[in-house]
C-alpha cells in the first residue's frame, strides 16, 4: 500500500508483483478491491498497479467540488505511474475506469503501451445524449448526498468496496462521472496501440458501445464474456482472466 499527495488530496494506490506494468482503474462507486482476482492471477508475471479514485475507498474525500474532474483523475493516473517509476504501462479500467483510460490515452498516448476497456463506453458525440447522461450522474450525486451510503445499492462491485463518506462519491458523480465533451469518442480512430474491448454478455447497457469501440479502434480485439453482467471480472473471473491473458501474451 502507498499514498500519493496530489495538492493536498491523498490518493491510495497499491503495487503487486513485478514485470511489465499494468495500471487498472475501477468503476464508479467501486474501489481497487474489485481487482483482487486479477492481482492474484497476474502478479507473478506483471506489475499490477491499482488505486482508489478521489472520493472512493482509501483515498481522500475532498469537500471542494472543484477537486473532482476528468482532468484531475487523468493527472492522478499519470502521477501514480511516475511514483512507480513507469514511463508507460498497459492502461485498463472498467466502466468509469474504462472511460478514464480513454481520457488518459487522449492526453498521454506516449505513456500507453496498450489499452484494456472493460464494460465501458466512449461517451457521446451528440450534446443531447451527453447531457442526459450528465443529468443522471448529477441525480446520483444528489441521491448520495441525501440518503448517504445506503443509496449505493448492492451491486457486485459495490459489495467488494468500502467507502468512508457518501459526500465524496457525490462529488465524484458530479465532477468525474459527468462528461465535459466528445473528446474520448472522437479519439477512438487515433488509437495506435493494441486494445482489448471486453464486455459481459448480459451487460446490455454497454453492448452497443463495445461494438462501436471495437469497430472504430484500429485492430482492436473484442471479447464477450458469457453469463456476466457489468462487473464481468467478478461474475466470471476465470473467463475474464483468460481473455485478459490472451491479450497480454499476444
pLDDT digits (tens, 9 = 90+) for 107-130: 999 999 999 999 999 999 999 999
Q: What is the mean pLDDT of residues 191-206?
A: 98
Domain ranges of the chain: 2-249
* E strand or H helix that includes residue 62: none
Report yes or no: 60 and 54 within 8 Å, Cβ to Cβ: yes
Q: What is the mean pLDDT of residues 64-89?
A: 98
pLDDT of residue 4: 96
Q: Give me the architecture of the 2-249 domain, per CATH.
A: 3-Layer(aba) Sandwich (3.40)
pLDDT of residue 161: 85
pLDDT of residue 81: 98
pLDDT of residue 154: 78
Cell readout for 70 is 476528468
Give the tens place of pLDDT for each residue, 149-187: 989 887 778 778 899 999 999 999 999 999 999 999 999
pLDDT of residue 160: 81
pTM (predicted TM-score):
0.96
Q: What is the mean pLDDT of residues 209-225?
A: 98
Give the tens place of pLDDT for each residue, 232-248: 999 999 999 999 999 99
3-state secondary structure of 155: coil
3-state secondary structure of 199: strand
By C-alpha distance, which of 177, 170, 179 is closest to 55? 170
pLDDT of residue 159: 78
CA–CA dist 112, 81 (Å, integer)? 11
Amino acid at each position: 500500500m502507498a499514498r500519493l499527495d496530489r495538492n493536498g488530496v491523498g490518493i491510495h494506490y497499491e503495487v503487486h508483483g513485478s514485470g511489465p506494468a499494468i495500471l487498472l482503474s475501477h468503476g464508479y462507486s467501486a474501489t481497487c478491491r474489485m481487482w483482487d482476482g486479477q492481482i492474484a492471477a497476474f502478479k507473478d508475471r506483471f506489475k499490477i498497479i491499482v488505486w482508489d479514485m478521489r472520493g472512493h475507498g482509501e483515498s481522500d474525500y475532498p469537500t471542494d467540488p472543484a477537486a473532482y474532474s476528468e482532468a484531475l483523475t487523468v493527472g492522478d493516473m499519470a502521477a501514480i505511474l511516475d511514483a512507480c517509476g513507469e514511463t508507460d504501462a498497459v492502461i485498463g479500467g472498467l466502466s468509469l475506469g474504462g472511460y478514464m483510460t480513454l481520457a488518459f490515452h487522449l492526453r498521454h498516448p506516449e505513456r500507453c503501451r496498450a489499452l484494456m476497456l472493460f464494460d465501458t463506453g466512449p461517451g457521446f458525440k451528440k450534446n443531447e445524449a451527453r447531457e442526459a447522461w450528465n443529468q443522471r450522474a448529477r441525480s446520483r450525486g444528489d441521491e448520495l448526498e441525501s440518503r448517504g451510503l445506503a443509496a449505493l445499492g448492492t451491486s457486485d462491485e459495490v459489495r467488494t468496496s468500502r467507502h468512508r463518506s457518501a459526500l465524496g462519491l457525490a462529488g465524484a458523480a458530479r465532477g468525474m462521472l459527468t462528461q465535459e465533451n466528445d473528446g474520448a469518442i472522437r479519439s477512438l480512430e487515433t488509437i495506435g496501440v493494441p486494445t482489448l474491448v471486453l464486455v459481459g454478455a448480459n451487460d446490455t447497457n454497454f453492448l452497443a458501445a463495445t461494438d462501436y469501440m471495437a469497430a472504430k479502434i484500429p485492430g482492436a480485439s473484442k471479447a464477450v464474456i458469457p453469463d456476466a453482467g457489468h462487473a464481468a471480472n467478478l461474475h466470471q473471473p476465470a473467463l475474464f482472466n483468460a481473455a485478459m491473458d490472451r491479450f497480454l501474451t499476444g
